[in-house]
Amino acid sequence: MSSGTPVYVTRSVLPSFEEYERHIEKLFESRCLTNHGELERQLTLEIRNYLEVPAITLAANGTLALQLAIRALALNGKKVITTPFTYVATVTSLLWEGCEPVFADIDDASCCIDPEKVAALADADPEIAGILPVHVYGNACDVRSLELIAEKHGLKILYDAAHAFGSELDGKSLFSFGDAAAGSFHATKLFHTIEGGCVASSPQIAETVRLLGAFGHLNDDYLLAGINAKMCELHAAMGLSLLPMVPDIIRSRKRICDIYDEELAPAFAACLRKPLLASGLSWNCAFYPVIADSAERLDRIIAALEKEDIHPRRYFGKSMTELPYLKGQSCPIAESLSRRVACLPLWADMPDALARRIAGIINSNLA
């Protein structure tokens, strides 16, 4: 029996209405609603301070943030190594920038791109110009090994850090690694501006990103063929309202993760595992992924939960090597994993009892 409302993989976090109203009230006086307004500028500073990176450029969404960064790093039109185990936006961003994605399979334990596979591809093909790894689930890629490969071959590294807001490696935000990192502030992410994104980079690259995202002109000087990727004031206001809540959001999510860890002990002993987190990582608890030992086992668990109107998500249920418009490459580890992984429901103010109930359903449907 289900008990009322359906349960999805996440619920968007919101500030109090009064807090949001406090920020947007000013707009009704100033009537400056977009074009790098006061709230957008303030949020830029606050996110830069929170992440402790040299520069932040806000964008209308995470996909455009990726595309702007690809161009600012002059990777457009080039061959770029990326991971097959990600959300489709990583790959479509490359395609929209005319890049040729070259897939390096993942490390089975961490679910992030395998540096040995990256090195082999870079050694074999002098046309490779960059690497676009993803900090999957807020876990950290092997940033040191990737740096060495990039140095050896003169490659740019752009991290897709859409899951990484609030994750730190050895005390440094994951946004501080690589030549640039692109973030997503979509409503389903841990911190959000409803729709939104950012690029973290050096101040020089930030200048290009900002110019590209605002039509490529500065007053009457038409410098680059840009696009409109600006974040408007209503979105920035949501970010300003939520940013101070981020430490609490991460703490609350961790509490739910701890409950899952404890309650799912029988499942972990039998047939489930979790991705192995990087050592030195202070994890943001962006997702609660579980990996089953077989596709059939995962199918049974998901069916049992769905019978109770609980809907985990298959993140990521398809390896990017299997996209119908991108055939011809194969990454067996990602292809196998994508059939055996799902993310359990997780949000900041999720009731403890719900996490216990979900774990109980899983434990009693292992066989």
Applying CB under 6 A, the residues found at the interface with ligand PLP are 61-63, 86-87, 89-90, 134, 160, 162-163, 184, 186, 197
Nearer CB in complex with ligand PLP: 133/362: 133
3-state secondary structure of 357: helix
Nearer to ligand PLP, 163 or 274 (CB): 163
The partner residues of 131 in beta bridges, in order of sequence, read 81, 157
Does an H or E element contain 300, and which?
helix 295-307
Question: With respect to ligand PLP, which residue has the nearer C-beta, 62 or 84?
Answer: 62
Q: Select 44 or 90, whichever has its Cβ closest to ligand PLP.
A: 90
Nearer to ligand PLP, 130 or 264 (CB): 130
Is the omega angle on the peptide bond into residue 316 within 30 degrees of 0, that is, cis?
yes
The least distance separating ligand PLP from the CB of residue 66, rounded to whole angstroms, comes to 6
Sign of the dihedral through C-alpha 233, 202, 174, 168 = negative
- The nearest distance, CB 134 to ligand PLP, in angstroms, is 5
Pairing of strands 79-82, 100-103: parallel
What does the alpha-carbon distance between residue 275 and residue 205 come to, in Å, rounded to a whole number?
33
User: Nearest-CB residue to ligand PLP?
Assistant: 62
Report the nearest approach of ligand PLP to the CB of residue 3 (Å). Answer: 30
Q: Which residues, 6 or more positions from 321, have their beta carbon under 8 angstroms from its beta carbon?
A: 84, 103, 329, 330, 331, 334, 335
3-state secondary structure of 136: helix
Shortest Cβ distance from residue 216 to ligand PLP (Å)? Answer: 21
State how far the Cα of 65 lies from the Cα of 19, in Å rounded to an integer: 27
In whole angstroms, how close is the CB of 123 to ligand PLP at the nearest point?
27
User: How far is 55 from 167, CA to CA, in rounded Å?
Assistant: 18
Residue 121 or residue 164: which is nearer to ligand PLP going by CB? Answer: 164
* Residue 349 vs residues 91, 146, 356: alpha-carbon distances, Å: 32, 36, 14
Residue 198, classed as helix, strand or coil, is strand
Distance CA 156, CA 78 (A): 11
Minimal distance in Å, beta carbon 128 to ligand PLP? 21
Residue 330 Cβ, how far from ligand PLP at the closest point, in Å? 21
Between 184 and 241, CB nearer to ligand PLP: 184
